[in-house]
Amino acid sequence: MSFTYRNGILHAENVPLPELAARHGTPTYVYSTAALRARLAAYVEAFRGIDPLICYALKANSNQAVIATFAREGAGADVVSMGELKRALAAGVPARKIVFAGVGKTAEEMRFALQHGILQFNVESEPELRLLSDVACGMGVTAPVALRVNPDVDAKTHAKITTGKAENKFGIDMDHAPGVAALAKSLPGIALEALALHIGSQLMDVAPFRTAFARLGALARQVNAAGGPALRRLDFGGGVGVGYAGEAPPDLRDYAEAVRSAIAGLGVGAILEPGRSLVAEAGVLLGRVIRVKEGVAKRFAIVDTAMNDLIRPTLYEAWMPILAVSEPRPGANRALMDVVGPICETGDYLALDRELPPLNAGDLFVVGGAGAYGAAMSSSYNTRPLAAELLVNGDQVAVIRPRQDIDALIAGEKLAPWLTS
């Protein structure tokens, strides 16, 4: 395992975390190269025989070093903005392995992606399709398109991260999809090459995948039967969920079997767009206790790690594991406490009513599962500098994002001319 106790001290691969805290400070994100590679390898192994293109979803963690680690293992990229597209290209992802998703692509973004020759645009509405046609024709090129459909499948996950129900903003309604597919085949500058879906993040059951994938396969057969060039690919969206509280995630082999059933007899390739499941457990957020406050009704561990560093607990009510860096003694007393940050918000917490071993002022701790949607969603709220990010590879450590400098943060802002006299 990549994060383990050795002689009573939590390590990232071969590096003790107290050493990282002493050298780089806290809060700091720490990622494991071995864990990143192992999780991607698990997908490759489970899908052997299907051999899909695995396009890492950059939104989970868009650090250049993380993207490059996957790119060197043969992965592509799933992007949702021109910024993410530029990140993927800069990290060495070939354009022919990049999928551009998202409901709000602009003409500027479309032009940039067409200039670089990406694999496909996941188009989510008829107006987007018509705009892409206009942009492609204006450039004298053809845009490779996948229609993203909404299968109206409840992923049984948090309301803010489910994306495949009829009331969600994503995708084209299944009943309208054949008509939009016919339109795509008729529009100049458009090559309809694929169908796509994505029903949400953090799925812990394969059943919704099976239902959604079966509907996608049936639609693909209907689209092919209508005539014109046959579809070349089906894009099955994001991967399986993560067991933050120790629960078992879906078996990747069962997930692969759902894909295998959907594409049977179609003669198409497959694309997967996992994000969270590749990076979440490959990273921790390392922090330090500032002080312990004994309230009237609660005990608080006030820490230097706040909602600006990790917003998932307050935004999604997410439960994330918290571990002391010094391994608790067997049988150590545990007590209920809230782990809270220094930001001036009641919502600034990492855990509420959590039963934890003793945490005292100066103690180091980690938030586990923080490799996904941690640093990528962080901010400088309360003028708190963005945390450092480190990548560990065996006994090697690289700073892959330095801690933001407060003076530089302030210097990036300018006074209006009438305020300078």
Please give the domain boundaries of the chain with CATH numbers for all domains: 3-30+280-411 (2.40.37.10), 102-272 (3.20.20.10)
| Catalytic member of 264, 296, 344, 411 | 344
Distance CA 276, CA 370 (A): 10
Helix, strand or coil for residue 121? Answer: strand
The 10s digit of each residue's pLDDT in 267-290 is 999 999 999 999 999 999 999 999
What are the pLDDT tens digits along the chain (421 aa)?
689 999 999 999 999 999 999 999 999 999 999 999 999 999 999 999 999 999 999 999 999 999 999 999 999 999 999 999 999 999 999 999 999 999 999 999 999 999 999 999 999 999 999 999 999 999 999 999 999 999 887 655 545 444 444 455 678 999 999 999 999 999 999 999 999 999 887 899 999 999 999 999 999 999 999 999 999 999 999 999 999 998 999 999 999 999 999 999 999 999 999 999 999 999 999 999 999 999 888 999 999 999 999 999 999 999 999 999 999 988 888 989 999 999 999 999 999 999 998 899 999 999 999 999 999 999 999 999 999 999 999 999 999 999 999 999 999 999 999 999 8
pTM above 0.85? Answer: yes
Q: C-alpha angle with apex 284: 33 to 369, nearest 5 degrees?
A: 95
The 10s digit of each residue's pLDDT in 151-171 is 887 655 545 444 444 455 678
Q: How many CB atoms lie within 10 A of CB 405?
A: 11
| CA-CA-CA-CA dihedral for 338, 340, 346, 352, to nearest 10 | -30
Q: Which helix (H) or strand (E) holds 84?
A: helix 82-90
344 catalytic per annotation: yes
Q: Which helix (H) or strand (E) holds 262?
A: helix 252-263
Helix, strand or coil for residue 12? Answer: strand
